[in-house]
Amino acid sequence: MTSDGLDIEAIRSAHDLIRERIRRTPVMTSTTLDAMAGAKLFFKCENFQKTGAFKARGATHAVFRLTDAEAARGVATQSSGNHGAALARAAGMRGIPAFVVMPRSAPRAKKASVERFGGRIVLCEPTLEARDAAAARVVSETGAAFVHPNNDLRVMAGQGTAAVELLEDVPDLDLILCPVGGGGLLAGTAVAAKSMRPGIRVVGVEPAGADDASRSFAAGRRLPSDHPKSIADGLLAGLGDLTFPIIRDRVDDIVTVSEAAIVAAMQRIWEIMKIVVEPSAAVSYAALVGGAIKPAGMRVGIILTGGNVDLDSLPWMDPAARKA
């Protein structure tokens, strides 16, 4: 792995380093959802991952790749929650502190998760600029090593291990659907999938209200994320200068989905598969529910990225969210 990009060797090396420190999550199926889609669907259930989200992979890899000198003053990040909890857990395993900048608007369940794993939360205003500024201030004050939630090759390599496991378990997939926010998971997934199965299609999915990735992909250059808004709070980050080139070169397409499709997909997974997923995790399946992807006859891998949700504030309790 170099500053020029990411390769399958780096992802397999990451897997070797973290496999005993994370959970190999199951791939689940549903004949009911297959019938609805007219396709065979294979759900990679990262909602069962340590800390409840795929972020445990990248954060654990980044923390355990640090030298002792780099790790001496701890680690720091900015996060809407899942990466922060994952970094706190990994730091705890290594015996170092973790400082996590979070927006005040972050779900209560995600704040509680960060604290449960020993993370030290620093709250900021809910804008990307405020998060970046607060994180820079924390690093300056503590000397902690900064681990970006997505725009970090170590993180991307760790995230790519989910696709490695998925294709080891189901090697003959035609398509993988992957949520995209900052792009770390999509970049790692594309590199792993295209290396292991060159003919496979990899498609990113994002909320229509936070569509910088689809606009950037179409334009061939990175465009800013201006005032993103979605119930999928984990997908509000913009693409980075490391994630975008990989996505541009390796991903086949990026589609957007409505808030109503996200809510419907999340509710359908809860009701039919009997598993808890958060809105960000439901976005990939929402591409089928909302009709952005027509998968007839295909074998489709769907990455369910996490299950950290505030049970007192479920999106289908809000009639406005169902119509957006």
Domains of the chain: 8-53+153-323 (3.40.50.1100), 56-146 (3.40.50.1100)
Quick: pLDDT tens for 4-55: 579 999 999 999 999 999 999 999 999 999 999 999 999 999 999 999 999 9
Give the three-class secondary structure for 201.
strand
Count of residues for the chain? Answer: 324
pLDDT confidence of residue 118: 96
- State how beta strands 145-146 and 253-257 pair: unpaired
- Say if CB 86 and CB 58 are below 8 A apart: yes
Is residue 316 scored above 80 in pLDDT? no
> Would you state the pLDDT for residue 324?
63
pLDDT band, very low/low/confident/very high, at 315 (cuts 50, 70, 90): confident
Predicted confidence at residue 253, as pLDDT, reads: 98
With bands split at pLDDT 50, 70 and 90, how would you rate the model's confidence at 286? very high
CA 196 from chain centre, in angstroms, equals 21
Q: Is 102 helix (H, G, I), strand (E, B) or coil?
A: strand
Decide: 82 and 52 in contact? Cβ < 8 Å: yes
Distance CA 138, CA 78 (A): 10
pLDDT-above-70 percentage for the chain? 97
C-alpha distances (whole Å) from 304 to each of 259, 301, 315 are 17, 10, 17
Residues 221-254, buried b or exposed e (16+ Cβ, 10 A)? ebbebeebebbbbbbbbbbbebbbbbbbebbeeb
8 Å CB contact between 184 and 58 = yes
Over range 163-188, report the average pLDDT: 98
Quote the mean pLDDT of the chain: 94
